[in-house]
Amino acid sequence: MRRKLIAGNWKMFLGIEEAKSLASAVVNLTDNNGPDILLCPSFILIPPVQEVVRGSHVRVGAQNLYWEEKGAYTGEISAMMLLDAGCTHVLIGHSERRQYFGETDSTVRRKTATALEKGLIPVVCVGETLEDREEGRTETVIENQISRALERFKAEEAAKVVIAYEPVWAIGTGQTATPEAAQEVHSQIRRWIKDRYDKEIADGIRILYGGSIKPDNATELFSEEDIDGGLVGGASLNADSFKAIIDAAG
């Protein structure tokens, strides 16, 4: 039985004191009896949030990384810097990174390989646009993104990856894939992993849903067989709504 994971992607929100307050509330309102909990603040907020959650059941992740260890790469951050700051996970290939900052399947793979090599757990994001869905390309788009992200990885490496399915058309729009539609894509992802590796790897990998999850739709989504938690955006910026989603996964 896969233990669910609820990850809060804080994106480019919150100041230091707001972040510390929210992180403290998440720690105090939740416990280790439910799903795994991950907070992904902006880079500057990672150290203060880590100070708040240290020793608790809450983990801290980053929203991005670069594949080089060090060098003249202004504005970038390395895996070792994230590890030094206490991160355990890192988001890779989020749709906003692909849309606004030129992230490609190739860079997603390089970043995923670096995360695995250095000991971070990559949360690899995949998803189709509204145009892709309307033209019946969802399955092809998702399989291409996953196959390129995990290209040449051995089974033991792939087993450490978390995948987040985030339909681009549902992010920040208030729209949500129906539980049945989300389950269909999650099931497709798991079948691909089974065919590429084996049933044991496929059964063990956690596949999160990340498209406008809210307290009022979380229970239905998490009841689906292949939805192993959520990558939560706006609803993770409020402790009460985030707790409600965590409870729904409990």
64 three-class SS: coil
Best CA proximity match to 165, nearest among 148, 182, 150, 149: 182
Catalytic, 166? Answer yes
Q: In the structure encoding, which two tokens stand for residue 90, read together?
A: 């890192």
Catalytic, 94? Answer yes
163 three-class SS: strand
In this structure, which long-range contacts are made by residues 94-98, counting pairs with CB atoms below 8 Å and at least 24 apart in sequence?
A: 94/9, 94/63, 94/64, 94/125, 94/166, 95/125, 95/127, 95/166, 95/168, 95/171, 96/11, 96/171, 97/64
Catalytic residue chosen out of the listed positions 89, 103, 166, 186: 166
For residues 63 and 42, give the distance between their C-alpha atoms in angstroms, rounded to a whole number: 7
Structure-derived torsion over alpha carbons of residues 220, 225, 36, 161, reported in degrees to the nearest 10? -130
For residues 44 and 62, give the distance between their C-alpha atoms in angstroms, rounded to a whole number: 10
Catalytic residue chosen out of the listed positions 94, 96, 103, 128: 94
Question: What are the φ/ψ torsions at residue 123 (nearest 5 degrees)?
Answer: -105, 95
Best CA proximity match to 246, nearest among 33, 43, 56: 33
231 three-class SS: strand
Cβ atoms of 236 and 8 within 8 Å: the answer is yes
| Residues with active-site annotation | 94, 166
